[in-house]
Every structure is written in C-alpha cells, then in structure tokens.
Amino acid sequence: MRFLRLPEREYLLIVAVSAALAADLFAPASAAAAAVLWVAALAGSLPTAWAAARSIVRRRITIDTFNIFALAVSFATREVRSAAFIVLMLTFARLLDWYTESRTKNAVEELLRLKPEHAFRVVGGARGEHGERVEKIGADGIREGDILLVEEGGRVPADGIVVFGEALVNEASVTGESVPVPKGEGDRVLSGTLAESGTIKLRATGVGKDSTLERMAALIREAQKNKSRSERLADRFAAIFFPVVLISGAAVYLLTKNILMTAALFLVACADDMAVAIPLAATASLGRAASRGVIVKGGEWLDAMGKVKTLVLDKTGTLTYGAFTFRDADIIEGVSAERFWTLTGAAEKFSEHPVGRAIFREAAARVTAGGVPSPDEVKVHRGNGIWARIGSEEVAIGDEGMCADLGIVPDPRTLAKLGKKRAQFGGTTVLVAIGGKCAGLITVADVPREEAGDSIRELRAQGVRNVIMFTGDNEATARTVAEKLSMTSYVASMSPEDKMRRLEELLKDGPVAMVGDGINDSPALARADVGIAMGGGGAAVAVAAADLVILTDDLSRVPEMVALGRRTASVIRWDMIIWVLSNAAGFALVLTGIAGPALAAFYNFATDFLPLANSTRLFAGGPHGARPARSTRPATRATAEPSR
C-alpha cells in the first residue's frame, strides 16, 4: 500500500505523532489522549526498530541501534512524550534521506529530458553538395560518424564536431555557462545544448551512453549510491559512544540504585540529532559543489579533498585548453600556398585530434577557391600522424616517425628547421609531405587556461605544498607551459606507466589529488587518493575513473573544492563537539539530581536543534574562494585527446 512507503509514511507519522502530542499536552488528564500518543509513538518507532534489527543481525552498532535503545528506555520509564519527540526527529531524518534521493532522481530525469527524441541525419554530403538529403530519425538511431543537421532553436542530439555552418549555442543546461558560445567548423558541441541562432552540421562523435548528457546522468546516479565517510562517521561514533553510555548507565545504577536517574542519563544521550545533522551537512556540501558545476561521487571524496597536500595536474586539456592554435607555417619554395592549405585542410577535415583540428581551422580560413574538399581516403598513424588521398594527390602530416614509416626522407635543412621551430614556439611542429616529398612545416601550440595561474597560486596559499605538472610532451614544451604558469615542478616525456610510478612515490608523502582528462590519465586518476576529471571535454574512461568531475572545465573549481571540503569537515567536527558538550551538560543535570526522566527528555529535544543549526551554515554562501563562473574556452576549441 502506498501510504506505507516513503514519503507518505513519514508524512502520516509526523501528522499523527504531532496531533497526539498536541492532544496530550492540552488534555494531560485524558486517558484517550494518552492512549493515542502511545500508539502513535510505538508506530513511529517501528522503522527505527527495523533498521536497528538489521544492524544487530549484521553485528554492527549504528546510529539506529543507539536511538532504538533510547526509545526503549523512554517507553520503559513511561516517558512517552520523550519517545514522541525522538520519533519526530528520526522521521525528519528519513525524510531528508528521501528528499536527497528524489532530488537526484529528478535531476537525472530533467537532464535526460534535454535529449531530443528525434534527429535529422544528412545523407549524401555535409556542405550542401548536389544530391544531399535530410532524413528524420529517432535519437536512439544515431551512430558515430553520422552527419547531423541542427537548425536554429533545435537541441544538439549527440556530441560531435561541427563540419559546416555557424551557430550560437547555449550550454547552460550542461556546463552552467549562461552566455551562448559561438560554434563554427572544427568546434566541439555537446548533446542537450541549444542552438539559439544559426544552423550547423556536425559529425557525431559521442552517442548513446557515450554522450555528455548520458555520462552526466550516470555520474549523478553514482554519486547518490556512494555513502559519505562523514555520514558513516555518525555510525562509527555511535559504535564508540553507545558502549560508553551503557557502561556509564550501569555504573550509575550500581552506585545509586536509582533506575530513574539511569533512565534520564540514557534519554540525554539519545543521538537522534546526529542522525540528521551529519547527513544534512553532507547534502548541503554536495549541493553546493553541484551548483558550481562539480559532480562529487560521494561525500567521502569531498572529505579527502580537504586533506590534500600534493596536487598533480596533467598538461594537455587540464592546465591548457587542449585546443591547439596555429602559430606558424613554413612552406617550401615551389609549393603554392593555395595547394598546400587545400590539401592539408582536406587531410585533417574530419580529424578528432586537437592538432588536426587546429590545422583544419587555419586551412579553412586560408583556402579561397570553393572551400576545403573532403578526402577520398584517410589513414591515421596512431601516435604520429595522418595520411590522406584527395583525388590523385597524396598528403601526409606528422612527425619524423610517420615519414620513416611512409619512406619519406626529409632533407637536412628541413630537419634543422623542424628543431628550431619546436624550440622557438614550445609547441608541436609537424612535417607536411605532398606526393611523397616534404612540402613544408606547420607549428601549432596549446594555450594555458586563463584561470590556471591564479588557481595554482590559490592552492599554494591553501597549504597544498606540492603542485606538479605531468606531461607526455617534450622538455621544451613542458618548460614553456611551466614558465607561463610560474610552476617550478614538472615532469616531461611521461608515458602512462611513468605517471603511475611517479604517483606511487608521491602517495608515500601524504594525500594526493590528480587532475586529468585523457584516456592515458585514467590509471593515475583511479590510483590517486582523489581523482579529478575535466569532464566537459574529457575522455569517457577518465570521467569514469575520477572521484570528482568538473563539468565546466574550469580549473578554479579545484581550490574551491579544497576549501569546501575543509569547511564541511569543520562543520561536522563542530556538530560532534556540540553534541558531546550538550550531553556533558545534560549528564551533569542528571547526576546532580536536577533533571529527572521528564526534564532529561525535554533537554534532549531542546538541544537537538543546536547541531542542526550548525549544519545549516553550509547552505549559506559559497565555498571560500569561489569566483563567478566565466567562460573557460579559447576562441576555438576541440576535444582533448592523447598525443598522436
């Protein structure tokens, strides 16, 4: 029956117990009112009794075990009003749990409602070629690589890369950024976002469970499942304090032979307030983090953030945008610029790699005759480049290793220029070969995040003693980024295995947090005490391995979470101090004979609100150091992927 389930059962209990209490208070001599109060209090005790019984079967002492004992004492001493007050407090605690769970469920449902039911797939071309047609399909029918049309006012049905057109896209529903972001060819768009103006065509790269929308929903569900260490702390504290209270009560009875004094002692020590106060603090903090665009997979990780002494940051996509920008081109004499950029742009037209996207964007801006054509054939050389055929022309773009694989031998002068460009720009310089011969060099460089320098300084001010950059890039590139961000500690040319080995060494010196976004960061994110993923453009496996996910890709959220974790721990610590001090004062009243069972029950109820009031402080204001949300994007942006 529905009224026996949450939340109807709790609402019914609150009304029944409150009404019975009111009747008993206004008609204390009425036997009927007293009987109703007994029935209401006993009925209200059943959920706590059931939870306590399950704990006892598992041979555990929990907060429910503690509270059912206090209820039993209340009934045994006929202090039914005290039992009614305890029942009310515990009922509110269960309602809080239900509210938190239902809010999570509603958040997931709201998020998934942003996903359109239908999409428009382009067949036969992407740039308005002859014979192109558009077909309406169900959103579940989208496949990776499909070209999708999103018109003004429509929602993006899947993560993807814009291949044609321009639009202002509102990403507030996903990232929290209220200002629409301009999107053009080469830019990444997220599922569930709204095209406020303009029309774009995109190539789907993240569909179904791999889309940002579905990943966010899964993250919220996972966060709800993980119980906070602070919430478990109430159970652990009960496991310690309950035996102490039992021994103290037994000692008082043996010394005084006064059963009423012993009962009063137990009534003072009831922990119904802690059953509400600590989960309330955790709920407030997780909600505060979510409002800042950070999904925390359980309060345990927020606790750990407050204790971090070493922070490791991946470079590409974390300290930098992971969106390379064009810096320089050196075209060999005899090769026309139009031909050079047409062929390089065509080769990288559908690339998902940030280097390739940067090259395509520059090519699209430089080619004047008919736009950049589509390649007829493409082969990706994982880790070092790409080869493509456009009509009868062949073009290869990559490093010396790719050239060696294809039998292309750069002349000594070109190799000398290659080294100089890399040292000069501290970025990535690639060779371009057309028809098997070197045709030029292109240099692109990643851009440090606007907020990275300030965030690192703030972390140091918070007492995070070691802030270290890990990167797979060469020494020159790593040094350039480190100097721009005033970082003195960095390790270059690291493989995923190198990151794990170095992380293991750091873990010996205290709690370590790791921030990353790529597939190659996933093992380190999982191994660190706290793994933090840049979730807006991060790889799905990195997001899955992390304990915190920054949806806004704003690095300033890291010091904010450190501050929030410390503030939450402080509030919970004060909850316990208030509890211990109020109990000590109550014990003094009981042992001096001032308070009997009735006054002890009233004292317990009155002091219940002190830790609750303390926990509500977390609902006010934001984490220390919180700054207004801002755009964390460069002028153009693409997905962050491992080096190729």
Which range has highest mean pLDDT (116-130, 495-509, 581-595)?
581-595
More confident residue, 474 or 460: 460
Q: Which residue has the higher pLDDT, 474 or 38?
A: 38
Sheet holding 385-390, edge to edge: 325-331, 437-445, 428-434, 393-398, 385-390, 377-381
Dist. CA 164–CA 200, nearest whole Å: 6
pLDDT of amino acid 105: 64
Q: Which has the higher per-residue pLDDT, 621 or 312?
A: 312
- Residue 433 has which token pair? 């070969």
Rounded CA separation 582/604 (Å): 9
pLDDT tens, residue by residue, 476-487: 778 888 988 989
pTM, to two decimals = 0.70
**pLDDT value at residue 223:** 62
Give residues with Cβ within 8 angstroms of 606, minimum separation 6: none
**Range among 205-219, 242-256, 623-637 rated most confident:** 242-256
What is the average pLDDT across 40-56?
Answer: 92
Domains of the chain: 118-210 (2.70.150.10), 293-321+448-563 (3.40.50.1000), 325-445 (3.40.1110.10)
Give which of 534, 630, 536 is closest to 177, Cα–Cα. Answer: 630
Q: Mean pLDDT, to the nearest integer, of 626-635? A: 47
The residue among 190, 320, 317, 292 whose CA lies nearest residue 548 is: 292
Three-state secondary structure of 286-350: HHHHHHCCEEECCHHHHHHHCCCCEEEEEHHHHHECCCCEEEEEEECCCCCHHHHHHHHHHHCCC
**Is the pLDDT confidence value at 173 over 60?**
yes
Residue 504: how many CB atoms within 10 A of its CB? 12
Q: What pLDDT score was predicted for residue 530?
A: 93
Mean pLDDT of all residues in 72-87: 87
How do residues 367-395 score in pLDDT, each as one tens digit?
A: 887 788 989 999 987 667 899 999 999 99
**Distances in whole angstroms, Cα of residue 527 to Cα of each of 306, 500, 514:** 18, 8, 9
Average pLDDT over residues 314-322: 84
Q: Are strands 147-150 and 194-206 parallel, antiparallel or unpaired?
A: antiparallel
Query: Tens digit of pLDDT for each residue in 130-168?
Result: 567 899 999 999 999 999 999 999 999 999 989 889 999
In angstroms, the CA 476 to CA 489 distance is 14
**pLDDT value of residue 221:** 67
> Percentage of residues in the chain with pLDDT exceeding 90?
36
**Which range among 124-138, 430-444, 514-528, 608-622 has the greatest average pLDDT?**
430-444
Nearest CA-CA partner of 533 in 317, 320, 305, 321:
317
Residue 347 scores a pLDDT above 50 = yes
pLDDT at res. 502:
93
For the cut 90, the answer to whether the pLDDT of residue 303 exceeds it is no
Q: Which residues contact 292 (CB under 8 A, 6 or more apart)?
A: 176, 552, 557, 560, 622, 623, 626, 629
Mean of pLDDT over the chain = 84
Q: Are 542 and 526 in contact (CB under 8 A)?
A: no
